[in-house]
Amino acid sequence: MPDWSYHGIFSPFLRKLPAKTSREFIHRGMNTIASLPFNLGHHIINFLGREETHSSLEKRQLGAVFINPMGLSGKVDPLLSGTRAFSNLGFGFLEVGPITRYQTESTTAPKVNIEAKTILFSDESVSYESALQILIKLPKKQPLFARLEGTPTEINEMAKGLEPFVDGFIVSTPDIHSFSEKSILLSTSNLAPSTLSPFHGIVLEESEGMEKLLQQVRYLKTIGYKGTIITSGGVMEPVHGLHLLDAGADLIMLREGYVFSGPGLPKRIKEVLLQRSNYFYPPPSGWFSYWLFGLFILLGGILALLFSLTSIILPYDEFFLGMKKEDIWAFNERIMLFMAHDRMTLAGTMISGGIVYMQLAKFGVKQHLKWAKQAIDVAAILGFLGIFAFIGYGYFDWLHLLFWLILLPFYVYGFWKTRSLIGTPTSPNLYNDRIWKIGIYGQLSFVLLGFSFVIGGIIISIIGVSSVFVQTDLQYICMPPEMLESFNANLIPVLAHDRAGFGSALLSVGLLVLMLGLWRYQQGNRWVWWTYLIGGIPAFFAGVYIHFAIGYTTFIHLAPAYFALVLYVTGLLLTYKYLHKKDAS
């Protein structure tokens, strides 16, 4: 669950529910998605949150490989109801538990103080049998540490059963330290060397504020402590994570900060760590081919726009129809105006799409960012496949085929030359300040805009290859389909071709808008804001202008365009400061 959905959609609703109810609702819901067959859940979560980690953040501790130093405290998910989901959310490791021989019910419900940003976590635990069944079925994607509670005998028995599925254990009793060959860590605030020496590491639970936690970490480094230092809690924003790692913590577990800051917190910390590393890749040779691909789409859109403003239909259209455009004008001028309406909206969409492709190539692929390549590939491949929608009613547009044949070599070359991209985004964002909070709602607007375009593109494509018209279309043309067909049997296939072509283009551009909002929304990315601004103008102007120019202004027909325009303007206004804020202050 990304921050835009957590803060913008779910959090206002969940805060009105009891803390445990909202926790289990969201965890079980996420787990349901993560459990979808054929690894579909993983792909959905990755599509919405983009949680991959750059290889430079990898760490080796306690005999295990951590793809990054961020983990999640078991206090956030004591019943393991969301463990499968959390394993897909980009964490370097997870703590599971506390695990006891038998499940214990909480004597006190979790208490959340929103103003003070504190949580009094419940003291409930999950039973050994339940935990074992969950871990047996859990795909192993990162190291797992089981927090065990109970008598020495109970801990020894539980550890034997859990050993094949975890990488270590966490206990809170100094006297229990030799029950497993796996790494054993002590959860305590007692930093006496004699207490710590039998353990492989220590888990410092924050209880008196970040400054106290930092002092404890620095003290351990000062006395030359050689074990692994893991902190739990205290991290409310990215800067806190950086301070702990700089002080000497090897790994950090998020706790209440994950609840208040949102699920995007570990990703934001990773982006800041990568930003500080100044990791550099030389531009891949294929980025310019992708850029030319976008340029040709833009030029094709401009050409289509000129045709829609002048002749509207072309000689090969007339050949297929078996009549001149003047005959159609004479029969019913609104048929020609309706065709101009579909062709101009297609032209505007192509121009906007070309701009976004070019920007993704220059500021994404050129910077070796894997997500930008994947965004281009998804939208381009669907665009190429859209040519089959053109023939849904029997009219194959040879000009479109020629256009795709010109584009195809540029796309294929770019695809092949950039196949090894592995770069991930960076960000200077350190704080949960007001600009960041407002920006989240702007990101939500752009994500909803992208989803709206995708859904609209699918619906329009389906209409184009099936009924062709909606009721308002027929009201505007003032003729039923039967009359159009009796006038010219090939007229409806031409109109269907226009409708399906526009739907296919809108679907591709919608995916670009959506993926740009989902995957490249980081502080200081001015090019993203300008891409939305400049890229959106042609599509919105052409789509709205042509309706008023031809008198097709039925409100219900234009309502989706008005809704999209509101999302577009809202997104631009709310994200301006965040996307233009370059420094970390």
The string of pLDDT tens digits covering residues 202-244 is 999 998 899 999 999 999 999 999 999 999 999 999 999 999 9
Question: Residue 354's pLDDT is what?
Answer: 97
Q: Is the pLDDT of residue 386 over 90?
A: no
> Where does the pLDDT of residue 414 fall: very low under 50, low under 70, confident under 90, or very high at 90 and above?
very high
Q: Which residues contact 571 (CB under 8 A, 6 or more apart)?
A: 442, 443, 445, 446, 449, 517, 532
% residues pLDDT > 90 (the chain): 72
| CA pseudo-torsion sign 478, 484, 487, 492 | positive
Q: Answer whether residue 291 is part of any domain.
A: yes
Question: Residue 407's pLDDT is what?
Answer: 94
Q: Answer whether residue 585 is part of any domain.
A: no
Q: Are both 273 and 136 inside the same structural domain? A: yes
Q: Answer whether residue 426 is part of any domain.
A: no
Q: Return d(Cα 443, Cα 48) in angstroms, integer.
A: 12
Q: Answer whether residue 529 is part of any domain.
A: yes
59-61/64-66 β-pairing: antiparallel
Q: Are both 244 and 309 inside the same structural domain? A: no
Mean pLDDT, residues 427-437 taken together: 94
How far from the centroid of its chain's Cα atoms is residue 146's Cα?
30
Q: Return d(Cα 4, Cα 507) in angstroms, integer.
A: 22
Q: Answer whether residue 144 is part of any domain.
A: yes
Q: Are both 268 and 156 inside the same structural domain? A: yes
**Which of 277, 295, 310 is the endpoint of a domain?**
277
Q: Which residues contact 465 (CB under 8 A, 6 or more apart)?
A: 389, 392, 393, 496, 500
Q: Are both 298 and 228 inside the same structural domain? A: no
List Cα–Cα distances, 30 to 39, 53, 93, 95, 258, in angstroms: 14, 21, 18, 18, 15
Q: Are both 389 and 509 inside the same structural domain? A: yes
> Where does the pLDDT of residue 396 fall: very low under 50, low under 70, confident under 90, or very high at 90 and above?
confident
Q: Answer whether residue 559 is part of any domain.
A: yes
Mean pLDDT, residues 376-390 taken together: 85
List Cα–Cα distances, 525 to 288, 356, 443, 532, 569, in angstroms: 21, 14, 13, 12, 18
How many CB atoms are closer than 10 A to CB 231? 30
Q: Answer whether residue 425 is part of any domain.
A: no
Look at residues 363, 332, 281 and name the one whose alpha carbon lies nearest to residue 487.
332
Q: Answer whether residue 424 is part of any domain.
A: no
Look at residues 188, 163, 160 and name the one whose alpha carbon lies nearest to residue 175.
188
Give 3-state DSSP helix, strand, coil % of the chain, rounded to 5. Answer: 60, 10, 30
Q: How many domains does the chain have?
A: 2
Residues 316, 320, 324, 328: what is their CA dihedral angle, to the nearest 10 degrees? -120
Contact (Cβ atoms closer than 8 angstroms) between residue 105 and residue 72:
no
Q: Are both 90 and 47 inside the same structural domain? A: yes
Question: Residue 584's pLDDT is what?
Answer: 64
Q: Is the pLDDT of residue 345 over 70?
A: yes
Mean pLDDT, residues 71-87 taken together: 93
Element spanning 362, H or E: none
66-75, 392-401, 430-439, 468-477: range with lowest mean pLDDT? 392-401
Q: Return d(Cα 329, Cα 323) in angstroms, integer.
A: 11
The length of the chain in residues reads 585
Q: How does pLDDT run across 509-541, given as a tens digit for each residue?
A: 999 999 999 998 999 999 999 999 999 999 999
How many CB atoms are closer than 10 A to CB 437? 14
- DSSP summary character for residue 125: B
Q: Are both 252 and 393 inside the same structural domain? A: no
Q: Nearest-5° angle of CA 552, CA 558, CA 559?
A: 155
Element spanning 197, H or E: none
Q: Which residues contact 295 (CB under 8 A, 6 or more apart)?
A: 354, 358
Q: Are both 144 and 188 inside the same structural domain? A: yes
Q: How does pLDDT run across 148-185, given as a tens digit for each residue?
A: 999 999 999 999 999 999 999 999 988 888 888 899 99
Q: Return d(Cα 549, Cα 308) in angstroms, integer.
A: 12
Q: Is the pLDDT of residue 392 over 70?
A: no
Q: Return d(Cα 91, Cα 70) in angstroms, integer.
A: 6
How far from the centroid of its chain's Cα atoms is residue 431's Cα?
21
Three-state SS at 217: helix
**Which of 277, 295, 315 is the endpoint of a domain?**
277
Q: Are both 228 and 366 inside the same structural domain? A: no
Question: Residue 194's pLDDT is what?
Answer: 79
Q: Return d(Cα 508, Cα 376) in angstroms, integer.
A: 9
State the CATH number of the domain containing residue 234. 3.20.20.70
Which tokens belong to 326? 């003047």
Q: How does pLDDT run across 108-160, given as a tens digit for each residue?
A: 777 888 888 888 888 889 999 999 999 999 998 999 999 999 999 999 999 99
How far from the centroid of its chain's Cα atoms is residue 32's Cα?
18
Contact (Cβ atoms closer than 8 angstroms) between residue 577 and residue 439:
yes
Q: Is the pLDDT of residue 249 over 80?
A: yes
Q: Return d(Cα 329, Cα 336) in angstroms, integer.
A: 6
Q: What is the pTM of this model?
A: 0.92
Q: Is the pLDDT of residue 335 over 90?
A: yes
Alpha-helical runs (H) found in 50-189: 83-86, 128-137, 152-162
Cis peptide before 37 (omega within 30 of 0): no
Q: Are both 266 and 298 inside the same structural domain? A: no
Residue 337, amino acid: L
* 356 DSSP β-pair partners: none
Element spanning 339, H or E: helix 333-360
> 3-state secondary structure string, 373-435?
HHHHHHHHHHHHHHHHHHHCCCCCCHHHHHHHHHHHHHHHHHHHHCCCCCECCCCCCCCCCHH
Contact (Cβ atoms closer than 8 angstroms) between residue 346 and residue 503:
no
Question: Residue 391's pLDDT is what?
Answer: 65
> 3-state secondary structure string, 72-106?
ECHHHCCCCCCHHHHCCCCCCEEEEEEEECCCECC
Question: Residue 281's pLDDT is what?
Answer: 83
Q: Are both 267 and 341 inside the same structural domain? A: no
**Which of 217, 247, 277 is the endpoint of a domain?**
277
> 3-state secondary structure string, 474-510?
HHHHCCCHHHHHHHCCCHHHHHHHHHHHHHHHHHHHH
Question: Residue 195's pLDDT is what?
Answer: 84
Contact (Cβ atoms closer than 8 angstroms) between residue 580 and residue 442:
no
Question: Residue 411's pLDDT is what?
Answer: 96
Look at residues 394, 390, 419 and name the one whose alpha carbon lies nearest to residue 404.
390
> Where does the pLDDT of residue 39 fall: very low under 50, low under 70, confident under 90, or very high at 90 and above?
confident
Contact (Cβ atoms closer than 8 angstroms) between residue 435 and residue 578:
yes
Mean pLDDT, residues 84-98 taken together: 93
Q: Are both 111 and 239 inside the same structural domain? A: yes
Domain with 237, as residue range(s), is: 3-277
Q: Which residue bears the tokens 């990101």?
A: 443
